[in-house]
Amino acid sequence: MQSAHGLLKQYFGYDDFREGQKPLINAVLEGQDVLGIMPTGAGKSLCFQIPALLMQGITLVVSPLISLMKDQVAALNQAGIHAAFLNSSLSMGQYRKALSLAREGRYKIIYVAPERLETEGFLQFALSPEVEISFLAIDEAHCVSQWGQDFRPSYLKILSFLEKLPSRPVLGAYTATATAEVREDILDILKLRSPLVLTTGFDRSNLFFGVKKPRDKYRELETYIKEKEEKMPGSSGIVYCLSRKNVEEVCYRLREAGFSVTRYHAGLADAERRENQDDFIYDRKQIMVATNAFGMGIDKPDVRFVIHYNMPKNMESYYQEAGRAGRDGEAAECILYFGASDQRTNRFLIESGEENEELDREARRIILQRDLERLQQITFYCATSECLRHYILDYFGEESGTECGNCSNCLEEFEFADMTEQAEKVVRCIQDCQRSFGINLIVDVLRGADNQKIRQRDLNENPEYKSLSDMTVPRLKQLLNEMIMQGFLALSNDDYPVLELTDRSDELLEGARLTIKVSKKEEKQPPKFRKKKAGAVSALAKEDVELFEELRSLRMEIAKEEKVPPYMVFSDKTLAGMSSERPQTLNEMLEVSGVGQFKLEKYGERFLEGIKLFAEKEE
């Protein structure tokens, strides 16, 4: 019987497992349920794909999105593994054919949408005497929790499906985004039996995190992409926008500026969405401008930057979307542009979202409350002067050590400022108001604005009116956000959020001190591809970069012939390995990370020929 290690090399071309993969695989093979929490790009798919190949029967992988299933099945087939998916994209004839082949044992791995589990045709297949379902893997398992950011009621169908099976298969649940609360929910709802629970950590050290507050977001974006194109020509990137209108505007302006760009949002026809997605995945377009409808299940490993043109609704969404950068382990950048209107827009989207009819009124109320709390947490992320990576890790319950040195806050020079006196003025200002007001109006009072809102409410009579006129609006808002984060103030969850005093507010008037970090000067240039963070591609010697580009051209030629995305032939990281190691025989080629036996037989000779021709040109 082949080993897990043997399959890893044969089909996927890797010599060693990544952190966490082997314990999860071994536990499943021993018949133990598992919950694996691994960041995007950490290789969680292998944790259920390899056991599937070693177990006796069929493995079902429950997956939420059609694009995710198609991408993973295509990658498996490209690696020489027979797999199929069952979802609404198949015609009835294709669906029946796939089930028929599955009954005959053609597929070891079948991806299935949760909605399909309880349909008559699928149940007939699952309950057939010749079908043995030995392993049920649940991808994106956080979707089962109604307290998570992406609850899908269809995931609850998994439980009733399991009850109908003649024998319970081993269960594996896998996710990249789960707070401690969601983790407990997954364990409880799926009724995992004595599971191995393994969290590999949420840190992605190859990612640079940044927050910017540009006056002109589009100008900032265009400048950034121009600089990126000069340093790394052909770099792929994603620009996330909150609204379809923003997607259209940003995509149009980038296209007019001469960039290779396409778009994706729910308002486009299905055919155009598919075409635009393929243009990005197949490297026909360099930049994708999209709403959050794009990305889940897109396994493109060489995305070098993810820009959030607007702040997302929560940290979970941000981590998941930003995590689509640098899945190959190479250096990549994740930058969020924060604007004053982002919080208001997100609040509107949360409150006007579709109500889930499968939940009662109280459950909907609690979910709304939690969504608003999550919105506040990501607003704090945009406002904090502390290490951004630590903020993310702390949010997901992971302890972090010293400053990371690879985020915009760690690279900016700060100094500590005693803001106790200013904070006292803020507290007294709010105390003396006859009613509660929002942040902007309190800022206007403290700075001494003379406008209709101030005069109508007699706020120019407030004792603290104009008392902080020497502070800029951004610095004053930073102070208010810091007071909220430290519990000296609170922001209500009303339709129009207002500032409120807390139990700690009086502490400032009774001797407590408030010290905050403030920027000394403009942000320093980020270490975009510093040596200490460099990966295989960025570490290539100058003469090897030329070979790398030649091999990329050969890869594109093969990808067009086979009608597959270029990264499914070989990743950039594997091409970099070929460029630096320059194998001359098939056996030497097999030593390059990412070259497995199946792909060696399929492509080895062509890449060896490419390396040989390049060497002859050098002589």
CB under 8 A, 24+ apart: contacts of 231-235:
231/528, 231/529, 232/304, 232/529, 234/283, 234/286, 235/286, 235/304, 235/305
Residue 101 has pLDDT above 50, yes or no: yes
* pLDDT at 530 (0 to 100): 39
* pLDDT at 357 (0 to 100): 58
- Work out the mean pLDDT of the chain and round it to a whole number: 86
Section 565-591 average pLDDT:
91
**Two domains, one topology: 4-199 and 536-618:** no
The SS3 assignment for 452 reads helix
- How far, in Å, CA of 371 to CA of 355, rounded? 13
Residue 531 has pLDDT above 50, yes or no: no
What pLDDT digit, counting tens, does each position of 316-373 carry?
Answer: 889 989 989 998 888 899 999 998 788 888 888 888 766 555 666 777 787 788 888 8
For residue 495, name the pLDDT band (cuts at 50, 70, 90).
low
For residue 522, name the pLDDT band (cuts at 50, 70, 90).
very low
What pLDDT digit, counting tens, does each position of 277-330 carry?
Answer: 989 998 999 999 999 888 766 778 889 999 999 999 999 889 989 989 998 888
Here the tokens at position 474 are 């951004």
Residue 270 burial (CB < 10 Å; 0-12/13-18/19+)?
A: exposed
What pLDDT digit, counting tens, does each position of 550-566 carry?
Answer: 998 999 999 999 888 89
Q: Does the domain formed by 414-519 have CATH 1.10.10.10?
A: yes
What pLDDT digit, counting tens, does each position of 180-235 carry?
Answer: 788 899 999 999 999 999 988 788 889 999 999 888 999 999 999 999 888 878 88
- How far, in Å, CA of 318 to CA of 321, rounded? 5
Architecture of domain 536-618: Orthogonal Bundle (1.10)
For residue 103, name the pLDDT band (cuts at 50, 70, 90).
confident
Q: Does the domain formed by 207-411 have CATH 3.40.50.300?
A: yes
Whole-structure pTM value: 0.76
Residue 515 has pLDDT above 90, yes or no: no
Listing DSSP states for 305-353 in one string gives EEEESS--SSHHHHHHHHTTS-TTSS-EEEEEE--TTHHHHHHHHHHTS
Q: Which residues pair with 516 in a beta bridge?
A: 417
Lowest mean pLDDT among 10-24, 126-140, 288-302: 288-302
Provide the residue ranges of all domains of the chain, joining segments of one domain with +.
4-199, 207-411, 414-519, 536-618
Q: Cα dist. 57→3, 103, 108, 484 in Å?
A: 17, 11, 7, 55
Q: Which CATH number fits domain 4-199: 3.90.76.10, 3.40.50.300, 1.10.10.60, 3.30.2320.30?
A: 3.40.50.300
User: pLDDT exceeding 70 applies to what percent of the chain?
Assistant: 94
* pLDDT at 48 (0 to 100): 93
Give me the amino acid identity at 27: A
Is the four-CA dihedral 463, 465, 467, 473 of positive or negative sign? positive
Q: Which residues pair with 417 in a beta bridge?
A: 516
Residue 587 burial (CB < 10 Å; 0-12/13-18/19+)?
A: exposed
For residue 528, name the pLDDT band (cuts at 50, 70, 90).
very low
Q: Which residue has the higher pLDDT, 173 or 266?
A: 173
Here the tokens at position 182 are 């969601």
Section 143-154 average pLDDT:
78
